[in-house]
Amino acid sequence: MNRGQIAVTVDVVIFALRDNDLQVLLVKRKYPPFSGQWAIPGGYVDVDESLEEAAARELYEETGIQVGELEGSAARVPYIEQLYTFGDPHRDPRGRVITVAYFALVPAPLALRAGSDASDAEWKSVHRLPKMAFDHDQIVRYALQRLRYKLEYTAVGFQLLPPSFTLSALQRAYETILGEKLDKRNFRRRILHAQVIEPTGEFQSGEGRPAMLYRFREDAVAEVKARRLFP
């Protein structure tokens, strides 16, 4: 790329909950610049595709993960939204590159495969990120901030959970994302008062008293007053 040209790329931050930890999908770069370093999946936007199409293509090419509901496949990203545009003139040593970042949520870590531009693909803890290429550590931190904020006023956190869950599992998920402990009684009172979940009528068996299973109400209003759930 000539120094006088401006290129556009897309990058995708994918979050998943695993082992009581919030993890992000990273790929190890195969080619310069930053060969051998970890990065979030992404690449150049072709002249004949939209930003969303480019994000979906790069995600599939580098990790094998596809966007959208796929029958009989676990490799899917049901939730993805545009995050921010990063345009520092010095963010890419190859020249002037502006990237449009997206962030996605999946209910469980997906099966991965490294693509043509990556030598490896792994899930990494957001709390223990390796040295990363470009400004990708900044992009991940910004995506985490956005996720935490949206968790306070929308039902987006349910995208990280299985179809049914206990209130204890829901609280652990929120605590993991927010990075803080929540009072059990206060959390349950507020989440039930928000009317975004409903009982399934089934119970999770195990040690002690069986726990009621809940699910997200598809007809519930996702947007609630900011800080309503977690003051």
Domain 6-151, CATH class in plain words: alpha beta
pLDDT of 137 strictly over 90: yes
Q: Cα separation of 199 and 81, whole Å? A: 28
- What digits encode the pLDDT tens for the residues 171-225? 999 999 999 999 999 999 988 888 889 999 999 877 778 999 999 887 766 555 4
Q: What is the reported pLDDT for 226?
A: 40
Q: Cα separation of 129 and 64, whole Å? A: 22
pTM: 0.87
What stretch(es) of the chain map to CATH 3.90.79.10? 6-151
pLDDT of 41 strictly over 80: yes
Residue with tokens 């507020």: 190
Q: Cα separation of 167 and 186, whole Å? A: 12
pLDDT of 75 strictly over 60: no
Q: CATH code for 154-216?
A: 1.10.10.10
Q: Cα separation of 146 and 141, whole Å? A: 9
Q: Which pLDDT band, with edges at 50, 70 and 90, does 61 fall under?
A: confident
User: What CA dihedral angle connects 119, 122, 127 and 131, to 10 degrees?
Assistant: 0
Query: Is there a contact between 181 and 230 (Cβ–Cβ < 8 Å)?
Result: no
pLDDT of 48 strictly over 90: yes
What stretch(es) of the chain map to CATH 1.10.10.10? 154-216
